[in-house]
Structure 1
Amino acid sequence: MPLKMDGDPGYGSLVGPGLSLSGSLEGSETLPLLIPEAAPDLNTWKPMNREQLEAVAGGPGWRKFRSRLVLLFWLGWLTMLGTAIAVVIQSPRPVATPLHWWQKELFYRLQPALFLDVDNTESSAISKVSDRLDYLRSLGVGVMILEGLFRHDVSPPNLTEIDQRLGTLPQFYQLITDCHKAGVRIILDLCNLDLLNGPEFSNKTEMLSDSSVQDSLRYWLVLGVSGFGICDTDSAFSEKTLTEWRGLVEEFNIEYNERIVMVKQTGDSSSALNASRPTVNSSLVDLVSESLLPSSFYQLSAAKLAEAMETRLKTLQGEWSSWTVDRPIAWELQKVFMVLIMTLPGTPIIRYGDEISQPVNQIKSRRSTSLFQSLSRTRFREEALLFGTFTFLPFNSSAQSNSSATPPLAFLRSWGCVHVLVLFNLGSEPQSLDPNWAPSLPEEGVFVTSTGLDRLGAVSLQSIKLHPHEAIVIKLFEPDNYF
């Protein structure tokens, strides 16, 4: 077979499809077998500088996006706010009845004669009362009832002159001024004064119509006294007396500075006050001071005190009252009754020295007012103790660890979703509570205060145990409602 020579165009040629013998792409013998691709243009991915970013961000597209985003944010926020307002409005909440100042303040009975020659100084008893104003304010006292200011052995009594043994009128004027500066009101106690006794009156019932008594009361009202008190056992106590006193104090009533007429109930349930109480208490008397304990000249046992307390709590009405303890009780139970007075609905009235939590005759012990101050602060800040409803909680035999012991007592003050539970053990033995004694109560709460001031932190009603002669105040919350 003949071989192809140089003339044969197909022999030894590198020319292939798409290639030529010219210096072009089709015919160059020096072309690489692999042709690299063109490198990408790095300038396309170069980050923008500040000026470029500002130019882009200020464009119409971004402005429109941002405005819509802000609009959506505010619409969502307003929707949540409207939902919250609707929930609050639709949720049932108690409405507080406006209280007068005598329904909110803490009353303190004081006899200036107790300071006569206490320190063998030349300072008068009235001046020493002025010196105690800062102490009273530290206790939370807002009203001071001055007893024994007028002489009882003068017939008829001069209601414009105080007993000179206590101090002078200028000193008493200074006391009134100091009380106004300290925010303490003064009420003059006119109990045990024979206001009907006068030689020029053949008919004693006409004495109160005379202008002398009216002028005397008006004299003190002008000086800034906040009211007067009378006992239901006084000979002058009558509807006529209260009507005239009521008309007089109303002449001086101004907003935020009302004057009051109060009655101290010293007799039993058959007293003249109780006989006419529906009329007297609703229209003529602002405050009726009652004792928590029945009339007695000797100390009652723990069982008798518990029985008297239970009777009082079971019959407690919705009528506003004020409470005091004028009967002798054992020292270890005085703190228990202090807790009772400060947590019941009504106005607490304490006597001079009742705020002390330790016996006065124990010289080595330091007298303390810590319990009283704790109760005073609690009453001031807890709406349940001012506006709350009252519910007596009875115990059955299964709720007591020892059926022969003095039974515990309890009541509840409720306001909205907050409940203040007050427990008492007047006996000398500890008491463990059955968890089922009050199944409707919230199980969890926190200690507010106690007679021993040793109860702190959270508490479960299922594990609580009352010590002897102890009272405990516990704040309970309904589930999922913590305000």
Structure 2
Amino acid sequence: MSKDTELDMKDVALNDVDPEKQPMTDGAAANDIVASPTGTEKNGCVKVKIPEENDAKFTGLSKEELLKVAGTPGWVRTRWALLVLFWLGWLGMLAGAIVIIVQAPRCEPLPALNWWNLGPLYQVGDVAAFTEAGNLKGVEEKMDALNKLKVKGLVLGPIHVANADKVSTLEFGEIAAEVGTLDQFKSLIHTAHKKGISVVLDLTPNYHGKEAWFANVSVTNVAEKLKSALVFWLDQGVDGVQLSGVDRVSSLVPSLWKDIRAIVQMGEKRRLLIGVVDRRDAMDVSNLLNSSEVDLLLSGVLQSSCSPKAGGGESYVDCEQAIQELYSAQTQTQLAWNLGGRVHGHLASLVGSGLVKLTQVLLFALPGTPVFNYGDEIGLEDQDTTFPRMHWDSKDANETTQDESLFKDLSELRGKERSLIHGDFSVIHSSNSTLAFLRHWDQSSRYLAVFNWAPEAVTLKLTGANLPTQATVQLSTDSMPPKGSTVQLAALELGPQQAVLLSYPYSS
């Protein structure tokens, strides 16, 4: 059947339908004539154009046609122009990248650091006074509290058997019964390491007596005993050793001292050797640090120069001078800063309760490792020349919260900011009662520590040394200025015995 026939049948079909039922008739008669875009048609009849099978459809150019077109001169020139533009653009971006790399400031290589350079050390010299339990188990139970303080190392003891001034009773490898057992010690080591805290054991021989190494004639025998004891304790997992009186043993028996150092400091695992001396002259301490070759040396330098002098009329110029002398003579990774300790007592008793927070900021901000005695974080004081107990759950707990919070914040900053971990040290301002110094490293944020030891408020004008006009308060020992606020360095106000730690970004 032809297409014309099919169309005629469709027309008939529509005409045969009742006019009222035909589409689009609106009741009109079937033979009414209506206009249509294609001409006049009977109402109800629709002409549909059916495309022929041979109607042309565009299917694109064939391969041969494309090759023919592509070879024309116009397209050849276009392709070459696009190719040249591509390579010119690529070479331009490469040149720009090279210029940026060459002009950009180069990062300084990071210094070699050990675990004790990354945060504070915390000394527990009197185990019985540290916790309610009064033994090594009690110290282990407080490991969470130490972890919250962000301490990197616990300096424990001495805990070995040694009656005062009786060398015959010395047993380096035996733990005093009142302190605990070897199993408790192993458990403490395990728990501390899980918390990321290293443990340093104080093995000062005659720690209850007057002379750390007993009488002169005993030094050789004691040093020989210590050598074998060191191997035993290092096998138990300790991460370092602390010894008082290192000036004496290193000078009297230098060959034995060399062996002691080698046992502690050599090996794949880097262990810490801390020396403790009662010397207070900065250059004397620096020379001893060189000759003894200990990793850190605790001394009385800050106690003699950065704490109140007897009789009033205190001047803190010596504090800045002592710090400068040690810093200029030593690599800062070998410097340690402390006030007090197992022998000299707590920070609050040495500087007074009003200067505890200021001194905490000082120790944390100086270039080197800060070392604290237990309870320094809450302003614990000595009582009747005996070590007081920690009041973990006392009624005064709320009063110590602010001190401890400052300690935690300082410790956290000290452990994460490169300028505070290993940055350079520059004194910006110094007077009898005020001090300001800068810690800066490469392109890291700068930290400016400012101190006022005086009992009255001061206004400092800190300018020059590439200082900006303003800085942000990171920490303050007082409520004003508040943390996060901006202060003007040309008119910086500090309250009585106040310290602030400010920061500002690096700018090329």
TM bucket normalised to smaller = 0.7 to 0.9
1:390 pairs with one of 416, 425, 429: 425
Is 1:367 matched up with 2:395? no
The letter for the 1-side match of 2:378 is: I
Superposed CA deviations along residues 454-482 of structure 1, whole A, max 9, x for unmatched, are 2314333123211222111122345x53x
- Alignment partner for residue 262 of structure 2, among 247, 263, 268? 247
**1:169 partner letter:** L
Matched residues, percent identical? 25
CA gap of 1:63–1:310, structure 2 versus 1, over 3 A, is same
Aligned length: 406
Deviations 1:198-227 (A, max 9, x none): 9xxx942431464x3321111001111122
What is the Cα deviation at residue 110 of structure 1? 0.9
Instruction: Show the counterpart of 2:295.
Output: 286
> What CA distance in whole angstroms lies between the structure 1 residues aligned with 2:102 and 2:62?
44
Q: 1:302 to 1:187 in 2, by over 3 A?
A: farther
Match of 1:377?
Answer: 412
Q: Read off the aligned partner of 1:216 and give its amino acid letter.
A: A
- Alpha-carbon distance in 2 for matches of 1:449, 1:426: 17
- Matched residue, 1:4: none
Q: Does 1:460 find its partner at 2:472?
A: no
Q: In structure 2, how many angstroms separate the alpha carbons of the residues matched to 1:209 and 1:330? A: 38
**CA separation in 2, counterparts of 1:444 and 1:50?**
73
Q: For the Cα contact (< 8 Å) 1:392–1:412, is it kept in 2? A: yes
Please name the residue that 2:108 is paired with. 94
Give the secondary-structure state (helix, strand or coil) at the position aligned to 1:86.
Answer: helix
| CA deviation after TM superposition for structure 1 residue 443, in Å | 2.2
2:451 to 424, 431, 434: 424
Matched, 1:127 2:149: no
Distance of aligned partners of 1:363 and 1:448 in 2 relative to their CA distance in 1, 3 Å threshold: closer
**For residues 54 and 336 of structure 1, what CA distance do their matches in structure 2 show?**
86
Higher-helix-fraction structure? 2
Task: Give distance in 2, aligned partners of 1:180 and 1:107.
Answer: 14
Distance in 1 between residues matched to 2:61 and 2:352, nearest whole Å: 86
Residues 348-369 of structure 1: CA distance to partner in whole angstroms, max 9, x if unpaired? 1011111226997846535242
Q: Does the CA contact (< 8 Å) of 1:385 and 1:420 recur in 2?
A: yes
Query: Normalised by the size of structure 2, how large is the TM-score?
Result: 0.69
CA shift in 2, pair 1:103/1:375, >3 Å: same
Q: Distance in 2 between matches of 1:223 and 1:179?
A: 13
> 1:230–1:237: 8 Å Cα contact kept in structure 2?
no
Gaps of 5+ in 1: 1-48, 397-405
Aligned to 1:30: none
The answer as to whether partners of 2:223 and 2:257 remain within 8 angstroms in 1 is no
Q: Which residue of 2 aligns with 1:312?
A: 322
Query: Which runs of 5 or more residues in structure 2 are unaligned?
Result: 1-56, 341-346, 382-390
Map 1:25-424 onto structure 2 (within 5 A): 61=75, 71=87, 73-88=89-104, 91=105, 93-115=107-129, 119=132, 123=133, 125-153=135-163, 155=167, 156-191=169-204, 192-193=206-207, 203-208=217-222, 210=224, 212-232=225-245, 236=249, 238=251, 240=254, 241-251=256-266, 253-254=267-268, 257-269=269-281, 274=284, 278=287, 281=290, 284-291=293-300, 292-294=302-304, 300=310, 303-304=313-314, 306-318=316-328, 319=330, 320-326=334-340, 328-356=350-378, 362=396, 365=399, 367-368=401-402, 369-395=404-430, 407-417=433-443, 418-424=445-451
Task: Provide the alpha-carbon RMSD of the alignment.
Answer: 3.8
Counterpart Cα distance in 2 of 1:421 and 1:57: 72
Corresponding letter in the other structure for 2:453 = L
What letter corresponds to residue 271 of structure 2 in structure 1?
R
In structure 2, distance between residues paired with 1:173 and 1:232: 27
- 2: CA distance, partners of 1:54 / 1:353: 89
Q: Is contact 2:127-2:139 (8 Å) kept?
A: no
2:317 and 2:433 in contact (8 A); partners too = no
Once residues 337 and 490 of structure 2 are traced to their aligned partners in structure 1, the CA distance between those partners, rounded to angstroms, is: 32
SS of match in other structure, 2:274: strand
Counterpart in the other structure of 1:442: 468
TM-score, normalised to structure 1, is 0.72
Does structure 1 conserve the Cα–Cα contact (< 8 Å) formed by 2:474 and 2:503? yes
Q: Please give the residue correspondences for 1:9-28 in structure 2 after superposition, counting only pairs within 5 Å.
A: none
3-state SS of paired residue (2:467): coil
Query: 1:296 and 1:457 mapped to 2: Cα distance?
Result: 28
